[in-house]
Structure 1
Amino acid sequence: MLQKRNCLDTMLNFGKSPLIPVKMDLDGISVDTQARLAFRKGDDNKLTIAVHGVRAQPELDKPFYGHKFTDEEKKVLSETGNLGKVLDLKKTDGSVLPVYISIDKLTNEVVALRADKVNIPNEIKGARLDDKQKQGLQEGKAVLVEDMTARSGKEFSAHLQVNAEKRGLEFIFNNQPFQNQQDIRIPSKLGGVNLSEKQQADLKAEKTIYVEGLTDKKGQQYNAYIRVNHEKGKLDFFKWNPDKAQEKTPDNAHKTQEAVNSQGKTNEATRNVKEPLKPGQVQPSEKQQREKDKQQKPKTKGIKV
């Protein structure tokens, strides 16, 4: 499964998988949940699987390897997802280990990354970093970098900051608050279709994705454009690409099928139709109409003799 979901390359570089369904046994009770998986070396130097489960909230009130977060540190982590500075953790032998601290946006786990494992480059996306910018990044601060060049050739600007969970630098656009990214958890599977890592990343970046072969609750397949709706805290599904202006108004076929099959709604045309609607269908078929007429036909009482 990990190979089919293209997780192994990331995991073999000591990264985490996306959220995937796992079944755990807790005191004899089988629990279905979601978690991120990672390879970690044990005391015998052999690889084991580490399970990173989803938490309701980051556990900032608990000591983190002996460090108790201050109110200011809690505030910064909650609002940005990164501590914004290098934290000196005290090891059991009394020595100090400088680390970056971040929150895993998918699981709410507090994550640490050794500062000596991060190399700040001289150039990012074609933009040269000056000494002040490199120093700020090394200290864990968010630094504005301008005139970077995307793969499309378009120039853009963004803040960069070390993210412990990503084990390197992350791009922060428009200084968007961290909690806005927390509103919606990006699933690894939708309507029976496994989303690729790129599709999940695009959704997290608030881009629209197109998914084929989705299955509604009645077992009928359909295709849809999908994007995040932070205001309503959910994913929105569209028949047409919402990022492009349409010259014509789309018909209601897709909406009718999805509403009737998945949401249990009815309209006058499909009332009393029990068989699932097919893609593009907004009126009952001949067979469905006969069944509908039977349902609507008034019952008559016989005469006792």
Structure 2
Amino acid sequence: RIDWTTIEQQWGVKRETLEQSGALQSMLYNHKSPQLFTVTPQFGDEKFTLDARLSFKEQPDGSFTLAPHFIKNEPRLDVPFRGYEFSKEDKEQLLKTGNLGKVVELADPKTGEMKKCLVSVDRLTNEIEAMPVDKIFIKNHIGKTELSMKEIGILKDGGVVHGKEIELNNGRKFTSDLQYNADKRDVEFVRTQSLKQEQSGEKQQQQQRNSWVDADGNPKRITKWKDTRFNEQQIADYMAGKKIEMVNVTDKQGQPCTVFLQFNKEKQRPVTEYHYAENKKVVGVAEESKTQYAVNNQGKTNEATKNITDPLHKGQTAPKNEQQQAQQRKPKGPKV
């Protein structure tokens, strides 16, 4: 139901680009893309290049088209938003944290019906976003940390849960304030810096990312990747957009692999592909190696092997011998 041909002609956005970046999955669940993309709309004989977050919009005939969300200089807080006028305190709160922090009545853009909503500012585009309270779903846990019904109630009302001790699935622990963000449609860790400070930091990160390219958007010369040095032919291939093959490399868990490096025009930076010796075809990480790569390289947890201390091998999704079976069965916690 998505007209990819028209989308590419109208906006210069390809399906493959959204799939490879991981944005497509979010967009198929009626979310905006987590990151900005470059779109190239054409008005008359002139083509423009603009950055925008992307989402899908349903047409009257049931098909879907692309809806770009372009960057605004600042949130439009001086005009009514769906029938609600922001007070001085509201504006200060939105500029400080990005969240209004309370439930307000807003007019539904399609029906005009008044609905209770939470309001936030999109920190990438400065768009104002709202989420009806009756559509909000908050999980009862963040990572390994449980949320009480009282805490969930506070979050649904736009309030802040202060000083919550958090443990993520990867074992990382920290203390943070929590608040629901209507743009992300999820609970977030509350920022201590203002919205302007945060956006300034994002601009600095963008400038840092742009260190991979020159003023014309072409890849800059690099002579090595991590501990692997390139010869002149590899450097020339990289700058021409070709793949560089790096052999005899080990991943973070010491498993031997071949790494392919290539400059990605869409992301404006180099990207890597891991190829383990048994794989016959190099397409990112092969299907049979995805669990191994996720656990060994990305710190993720596989339920069937979560207590095993050894690095996983190719195709492994369960204990491979009696020793690992014993490790997996071993309960966690203090001995008694």
What TM-score range do you get, normalising by the shorter chain? Answer: 0.5 to 0.7
Check conservation: 1:127, 1:146, Cα contact below 8 A. no
Q: Please, which of 69, 72, 96 is the counterpart of residue 79 of structure 1?
A: 96
Determine if the alignment matches structure 1 residue 36 to structure 2 residue 37.
no
Determine if the alignment matches structure 1 residue 221 to structure 2 residue 222.
yes
For residues 120 and 191 of structure 1, do their structure 2 counterparts lie closer, same or farther at Cα, with a shift above 3 Å needed? closer
Q: Normalization by structure 1: what TM-score?
A: 0.59
Task: After superposition, give the CA deviation of every residue in 1:187-233 in whole Å (9 maximum; x if it has no partner).
Answer: 499459xxxxxxxxxxxxxxxxxxxxx355684225689xxxxxxxx
- Alignment correspondent of 2:268: none
Secondary structure at 1:51 match in 2: strand
The aligned amino acid for 1:179 is K
For residues 129 and 96 of structure 1, do their structure 2 counterparts lie closer, same or farther at Cα, with a shift above 3 Å needed? same
Determine if the alignment matches structure 1 residue 13 to structure 2 residue 37.
no
Question: What is the CA distance between 1:49 and its match in structure 2?
Answer: 0.6
Secondary structure at 2:49 match in 1: strand
Q: Which protein has greater RCO, CA pairs closer than 8 Å, 6+ apart?
A: 1
The aligned amino acid for 1:56 is N
Check conservation: 1:82, 1:103, Cα contact below 8 A. yes
Secondary structure at 1:180 match in 2: helix
For residues 63 and 190 of structure 1, do their structure 2 counterparts lie closer, same or farther at Cα, with a shift above 3 Å needed? same
Q: How does 1:179-258 map to 2 (within 5 A)?
A: 179-183=196-200, 184-185=202-203, 186-187=205-206, 190-191=209-210, 214-216=212-214, 219-221=220-222
Question: What is the CA distance between 1:63 and its match in structure 2?
Answer: 1.7
State, as a whole percentage, how many aligned pairs show the same letter.
32
Determine if the alignment matches structure 1 residue 123 to structure 2 residue 141.
yes
Q: How does 1:64-75 map to 2 (within 5 A)?
A: 64-75=81-92
Q: Point out where structure 2 has 5 or more consecutive residues left out of the alignment.
A: 1-16, 227-336
The aligned amino acid for 2:28 is L
For residues 27 and 144 of structure 1, do their structure 2 counterparts lie closer, same or farther at Cα, with a shift above 3 Å needed? farther
Q: Normalization by structure 2: what TM-score?
A: 0.54
For residues 41 and 144 of structure 1, do their structure 2 counterparts lie closer, same or farther at Cα, with a shift above 3 Å needed? same
- Alignment correspondent of 2:126: 108
Question: What is the alpha-carbon root mean square deviation over aligned residues?
Answer: 2.8
- Alignment correspondent of 2:158: 140
Question: What is the CA distance between 1:81 and its match in structure 2?
Answer: 0.3
- Alignment correspondent of 1:156: 174
Check conservation: 2:144, 2:169, Cα contact below 8 A. no
Task: After superposition, give the CA deviation of every residue in 1:237-283 in whole Å (9 maximum; x if it has no partner).
Answer: xxxxxxxxxxxxxxxxxxxxxxxxxxxxxxxxxxxxxxxxxxxxxxx
C-alpha distance in 2 between matches for 1:149 and 1:37? 32
Question: What is the CA distance between 1:15 and its match in structure 2?
Answer: 1.7
- Alignment correspondent of 2:309: none
More helix by share: 2
C-alpha distance in 2 between matches for 1:128 and 1:143? 13
Q: Please, which of 10, 18, 30 is the counterpart of residue 2 of structure 1?
A: 18
Check conservation: 1:19, 1:188, Cα contact below 8 A. no
Check conservation: 2:95, 2:194, Cα contact below 8 A. no
Secondary structure at 1:146 match in 2: strand
For residues 44 and 102 of structure 1, do their structure 2 counterparts lie closer, same or farther at Cα, with a shift above 3 Å needed? same
For residues 49 and 88 of structure 1, do their structure 2 counterparts lie closer, same or farther at Cα, with a shift above 3 Å needed? same
Determine if the alignment matches structure 1 residue 24 to structure 2 residue 25.
no
Determine if the alignment matches structure 1 residue 168 to structure 2 residue 186.
yes
Check conservation: 2:142, 2:168, Cα contact below 8 A. no
Check conservation: 2:82, 2:106, Cα contact below 8 A. yes
Aligned length: 203
Check conservation: 1:80, 1:179, Cα contact below 8 A. no
Question: What is the CA distance between 1:145 and its match in structure 2?
Answer: 4.9
Question: What is the CA distance between 1:77 and its match in structure 2?
Answer: 0.6
For residues 187 and 3 of structure 1, do their structure 2 counterparts lie closer, same or farther at Cα, with a shift above 3 Å needed? farther
